[in-house]
Structure 1
């Protein structure tokens, strides 16, 4: 496909005319550029080299400059755009003609636009870019669970929910739909997936991750890259986008748990738990990468030559485009105080290995960088390397040939077909954590009280990055979908369902503010019902606005839970939250607990189907749900961090008493594990081997089970982790049906990072664990690699 695409560029001049990007005023340089791309005997790399030779220093630096859309729209200032949205012709021409900018991101006024408006805006931008420079603009957005800033787009569970499906194929499908609908919005670059590790429950971006385990994250990341870019990473496919893995590296490891605060991360830990997910995505062909906004061991990552050049570009062999996060070059001066001026910040970051600056509100970056090159402070070779990476992505995306699509090119946008994938993802993500006396599923004629601040909100179902950055505009765009209350009414009948919130969020304030506290009204409404559906959790947030000081669920919500439990009615607690807010103060009073995470626009429908038994829950936790704020940890802890009671659970006096363990999730059926086998009980450290297990559905309904294989290194030169996830597979079993699940492994899967910061497989005793089955085996010799 890529060779066909290269030859197809011979028609670029004709296509430019057809799509309105050519004119008699086109500079001679553009004609020469088009002449180059018309030469079908040249590879993409050769074409990039030829175009690079014809660009001036100003045009090269412009390619490295990215501004936000508000900068070039009509409005009272650079931060506010007029509505209806229009580009300011003078500002647009200044940005491209004077500063030669090569990239634009984001939406304007922090709100979603229709596909038609996106096409109109981006087509206008591309016309000016092709006329003035001959190189198209690369437009990017954070389409992290669907096409965030496009009205009518299909929205999926946030990444933490996709991880809870433990179904990489479903994640691939979701990413593929998102890619299609992002390209339908004329946008070819998606700042997704997040491959940061969600290992601190307090971090406000944990819901943007695939959870705490590096293997699960890696597999989900590979699936996302395959969905966004296609399995062959052929970006000339007009239904695919360039993926941007983020945020390299160690983001989320902050000591405080608050966003963008310092991390103190030994290299052994960085390589063991934070690097593998990025390596997996790079090996999967991801074209671009975004950098961690934070500081590791006192050094801002944006200024780290060791991280960006030595590790990322040289050791990992990343050949794609490296882009900053929002204003992070300026932050080297403004916030992190490692650069005495903005100009010095530009020098540090570009020399460290940054290729494109997400500026985003001014053009200072460009003149500073030009000065630095002319002064010999930034070598021309560094500029050329950066611009080649940028041009290659643009060329592989087919933007030289077709800078923007035509209206109507994407008939499946927002289709029922796409919505079905989103519903499937929501239904497989929802995780049943407690079900005393089998209270769930509920009878269809049950009398139900629906209560809690999350019961009647589309905003909370979706979370942040939904129609707007913090998700506060969701209600404006999502009225055609069902809240939990509306879905339960549809499923069980309006006459059978009462509603009394008891607590409400202050939707025009900060995410954690609550109002209209009327617990007595909720208690009174419980009279005459069979069961209470209590919907608690969080309002929407992301990044720094989501920082918190107390991981316990809010005291208003706790009081509501306790009061409703005292009615004597069984309470089904439905959690709708971005991170695991602590519920240990009242969890014992709940008859059932269901974790929905942030399931998207179809989360209410999926939950109602699970509550009624139409769908058997199959989600599993992608993180360890903590019980206390001073007992935060992960399942792959060191032995001294917890005294084991049984595999996966801990004594009350343990330092890690989890409310629910990693990988946990109940079903409406039961499964029996038996006959664990390993192909050899003594393996070579680089040899392949297989592990098999028989799984049987011993219940009365069909179910989906996630078969999880863990290994335990009994003794090692570095204190081994408690256990490590090595493989998993989600299977479907009918009642009474058995399947043999076989996993293929290699001795290198047992490796850990040794004292010299290199991978090591050591000879010794190991243990396999699948379900309640375990088996010992040996590694016969040691290797380092």
Structure 2
């Protein structure tokens, strides 16, 4: 099926059933898409019986049987355990017979963000050599190392980073996915690793979900057409000579099943729809991935029909391994088994019995899980049959991957080859992907493509910011805390523009705030979402920065000076940007393009002779909202009414029909919200987290742990990964932690409605000196409340919620602390939450918000 026919099929909605039927002798009766998930019905649902390109080999099965006949119970249990590299030593591997290991997002050898490829290989060698050690009668089964390379090898500085999946979905080019998989596998192999936790085959249905950008499309068709090709690129083609050779790695389709259907777009929530809906919408990527021979499926955090996927025997065992015939292994996701009722991270036989084969257990006490499973196997709580099936599947994957023959990671053909990491041929694939992913939404007066020989102003905070254009899973887990030097070999959007313009005899000027001395002929403004990843990227509406008009103001300022404006919008999902579109002459969604920003200049500029260089080829694989609260919004919905429909996208030959008159009323709904979140798992835009030491050293929190002269802050787990922040003062002098913003935020409506600052706090060490909660509005404006006794009373008592009415701040009714200026000025807040002390203190906070009405009748802290 070629690209054009794929797009026609997507728009008509007529192909899904035929694709499923191609791999299932029992045809399904469900429609191609459903407007809304139908009600659950107690009827048997047939899933396709899939024939994998990787055939079961009797010789391999006999080898597995022989190995297992010699394995002790302890060795079998060890194969089920997957610790995180931070909590694992080579001696642990030998003692506990550990079968696999992972590094989480942002986790690196020695916790060094700049670990070299030799650091990776050295650690991989140490793990491998320990695993194959045959002393004391050990069989010596090679270990596997898995990593999240979801858009390239994101954990390694210098790797090629491709556009995130949402951008790739707009390309409608399945063969390109195969090339991306090939390039990604080669760069993983450079570090000596064996296994990629990719591709994500989610079909995102509610774009408030923070992982929407990891989905190729809201429609299963693109997902099905892409998933198998990505698997082939990563693993090689099933049955071919290059299958899982030294240039390829084990692939993982994830997260089984329905992660993209989570209720209200809340990460790890319940998947919506009956079983037929789950099959037809969320199963599509697994059908082609299994056809292409994917060796691993990762279980989802989500639940369906009241049962968490990590414990869903019907879906993991009966459907995936039974009806669909998957003979690889099922791996868990970041202690996902701990969500099963009655389970903990280190005690959960139920997941194994439901069909999980490997427990991903990143906790430091992972050995307790090993010991508990061992005891449960001895008691019969874990049956010998289920244990042997899990071990057989793990060994099958290891043998197919050639791990028994490949030798130590450092001995493999691509290991340590610097020229392969970020290789020119890989970056060329990424640059092509950028070019084909761009979606032109508005082109007034055919402004694009631009003539390069002119004065070009490039503005916006995304113009020369590779971290922002790369998005999440880029060097760090959330993609935050990076600077351009963290991406050696990469090209920022401005750098690409500057190269194209200068080569043609024009002049490109970078000015983030849009100021200039020499009036430009055209302005290109690059702006959009800041990086985020799972959980921390969930949002409450589709409004783009509803509390900040900074980008909109910049666009209006430039246009008011008679300068044509091109907007390049960085985003991980379609968002309500009516104001910004109105203020633009041309508007392009560039998604999150990765490291090869020059691909954008390739498209938006003409050749020197005035002809088109590359046309706009991208077409929306997600529907674009007309209203901020228009979600879920998916093709085929009843009363489907998007601003831009699924499949929309202009080429340069198309006539623009969009004016400057889109409704701008949307943000009022956001402004009327009863609750303003300031910190929920991460600082909520526009707020930023920083610490300030006694030496006046201001340190923004741009990594998991940062230090100032008198305090340290680190991301820690409360309910989910890194959803809280622990702050420790060392007593050297005044230290402050603050949620801050550069431009004052208007709190007047909160002051007038009995609002309160509400936050969750855990005090592990009482303050040794007076401790203040501060509300700040500038260098000479602050209002403090003494929380010393409150914190002393809370010490050692676990998590508590503090509610502080805004009326408690001194003189809050008039001016938040200073009598002279008018109240309207002093209700413009820069720091709504700040803790200050000069002594020692150890606190952890989470969920900071301002809630209307919450202060009524609540006493002030004493």
Picking from 254, 258, 264, the partner of 2:262 is 254
Conserved 8 A contact 1:136-1:399: yes
Q: Give the 3 Å change call, closer, same or farther, for CA 590–236 of structure 1 in structure 2.
A: closer
Provide the TM-score with structure 1 as the length reference. 0.70
How far the C-alpha of 1:309 sits from its partner, in A, is 0.9
Secondary structure of the residue that 1:669 maps to in structure 2? coil
Secondary structure of the residue that 1:223 maps to in structure 2? helix
Counterpart for residue 522 of structure 2:
531
Counterpart for residue 541 of structure 1:
532
Q: How does 1:753-768 map to 2 (within 5 A)?
A: none
Counterpart for residue 500 of structure 1:
511
Counterpart for residue 319 of structure 1:
327
Conserved 8 A contact 1:617-1:667: yes
Q: Deviations over 1:464-484 (max 9, x none)?
A: 111221122542421432211
Query: How many Å separate the matches in 2 of 1:428 and 1:247?
Result: 27
Query: How many Å separate the matches in 2 of 1:357 and 1:228?
Result: 23
Query: How many Å separate the matches in 1 of 2:478 and 2:85?
Result: 18
Conserved 8 A contact 1:116-1:407: no
Query: How many Å separate the matches in 2 of 1:571 and 1:367?
Result: 63
Counterpart for residue 15 of structure 2:
none
Q: Deviations over 1:314-352 (max 9, x none)?
A: 1111111100001112233xxxxx116556x51211111
Query: How many Å separate the matches in 1 of 2:121 and 2:166?
Result: 31
Conserved 8 A contact 1:112-1:468: no
Picking from 262, 273, 279, the partner of 2:281 is 273
Query: How many Å separate the matches in 1 of 2:384 and 2:523?
Result: 67
Whether 2:411 is the aligned partner of 1:403: answer no
Whether 2:342 is the aligned partner of 1:339: answer yes
How far the C-alpha of 1:447 sits from its partner, in A, is 1.8
Picking from 102, 122, 125, the partner of 1:105 is 102
Picking from 389, 407, 410, the partner of 2:393 is 389
Supply the RMSD in Å over aligned alpha carbons: 2.1
Counterpart for residue 70 of structure 1:
86
Query: How many Å separate the matches in 1 of 2:463 and 2:446?
Result: 23
Q: Deviations over 1:612-651 (max 9, x none)?
A: 123222111111111212223445324x323xxxxxxxxx
Picking from 578, 586, 589, the partner of 2:580 is 586
Q: How does 1:440-455 map to 2 (within 5 A)?
A: 440-455=448-463
How far the C-alpha of 1:215 sits from its partner, in A, is 0.9
Conserved 8 A contact 1:551-1:581: yes
Q: How does 1:169-568 map to 2 (within 5 A)?
A: 169-232=175-238, 235-332=243-340, 338-339=341-342, 346-361=348-363, 362-406=366-410, 409-410=413-414, 413=420, 414-472=422-480, 474-475=482-483, 476-493=485-502, 496-502=507-513, 522=514, 524-525=515-516, 528-554=519-545, 555=548, 556-568=550-562
Query: How many Å separate the matches in 2 of 1:311 and 1:71?
Result: 34
Query: How many Å separate the matches in 1 of 2:58 and 2:567?
Result: 62
How far the C-alpha of 1:270 sits from its partner, in A, is 1.0
User: Matched residue pairs, number?
Assistant: 570
How far the C-alpha of 1:268 sits from its partner, in A, is 3.0
How far the C-alpha of 1:42 sits from its partner, in A, is 7.1
Query: How many Å separate the matches in 2 of 1:136 and 1:354?
Result: 20
Conserved 8 A contact 1:430-1:597: yes
Conserved 8 A contact 1:584-1:659: no
Q: Give the 3 Å change call, closer, same or farther, for CA 61–340 of structure 1 in structure 2.
A: closer
Query: How many Å separate the matches in 2 of 1:42 and 1:199?
Result: 42
Query: How many Å separate the matches in 2 of 1:160 and 1:268?
Result: 25
Conserved 8 A contact 1:526-1:567: no
Secondary structure of the residue that 2:334 maps to in structure 1? coil
Q: Deviations over 1:102-158 (max 9, x none)?
A: 111114337363322221111111111111441010111011111222333222111
How far the C-alpha of 1:274 sits from its partner, in A, is 0.9
Conserved 8 A contact 2:169-2:217: yes
Q: Deviations over 1:491-536 (max 9, x none)?
A: 213972233323xxxxxxxxxxxxxxxxxxx3x4386112221112
How far the C-alpha of 1:445 sits from its partner, in A, is 2.1
Counterpart for residue 145 of structure 2:
139
Q: Which runs of 5+ in 1 are unaligned?
A: 1-40, 73-90, 333-337, 503-521, 643-655, 672-785
Secondary structure of the residue that 2:259 maps to in structure 1? coil
Instruction: Between 123-132 and 524-533, report the one with greater CA deviation.
Output: 524-533
Q: Give the 3 Å change call, closer, same or farther, for CA 267–592 of structure 1 in structure 2.
A: same
Query: How many Å separate the matches in 2 of 1:191 and 1:320?
Result: 14
Query: How many Å separate the matches in 2 of 1:328 and 1:340?
Result: 10
Secondary structure of the residue that 1:131 maps to in structure 2? coil
Query: How many Å separate the matches in 2 of 1:403 and 1:188?
Result: 12
Conserved 8 A contact 1:68-1:105: yes
Query: How many Å separate the matches in 2 of 1:197 and 1:526?
Result: 48
Counterpart for residue 667 of structure 1:
651
Q: Give the 3 Å change call, closer, same or farther, for CA 401–408 of structure 1 in structure 2.
A: closer
Counterpart for residue 698 of structure 2:
none
Q: Give the 3 Å change call, closer, same or farther, for CA 541–68 of structure 1 in structure 2.
A: same
Whether 2:619 is the aligned partner of 1:611: answer no
How far the C-alpha of 1:397 sits from its partner, in A, is 1.1
Query: How many Å separate the matches in 1 of 2:194 and 2:621?
Result: 30
How far the C-alpha of 1:444 sits from its partner, in A, is 1.4
Q: Deviations over 1:415-436 (max 9, x none)?
A: 2222211211111112222111
Counterpart for residue 812 of structure 2:
none
Q: Deviations over 1:367-399 (max 9, x none)?
A: 111111112111011000001111111111111
Query: How many Å separate the matches in 1 of 2:258 and 2:199?
Result: 15
How far the C-alpha of 1:358 sits from its partner, in A, is 0.4
Query: How many Å separate the matches in 1 of 2:559 and 2:245?
Result: 55
Picking from 72, 75, 87, the partner of 1:59 is 75
Query: How many Å separate the matches in 2 of 1:146 and 1:565?
Result: 38
Counterpart for residue 156 of structure 1:
162
Q: Deviations over 1:702-753 (max 9, x none)?
A: xxxxxxxxxxxxxxxxxxxxxxxxxxxxxxxxxxxxxxxxxxxxxxxxxxxx
Q: How does 1:85-96 map to 2 (within 5 A)?
A: 91-93=89-91, 95-96=92-93
Counterpart for residue 11 of structure 2:
none
Q: How does 1:705-744 map to 2 (within 5 A)?
A: none
Secondary structure of the residue that 1:434 maps to in structure 2? strand
Query: How many Å separate the matches in 2 of 1:468 and 1:635?
Result: 31
Conserved 8 A contact 2:337-2:343: no
Counterpart for residue 174 of structure 2:
168
Query: How many Å separate the matches in 1 of 2:305 and 2:517?
Result: 54
Secondary structure of the residue that 1:240 maps to in structure 2? coil
How far the C-alpha of 1:233 sits from its partner, in A, is 5.4
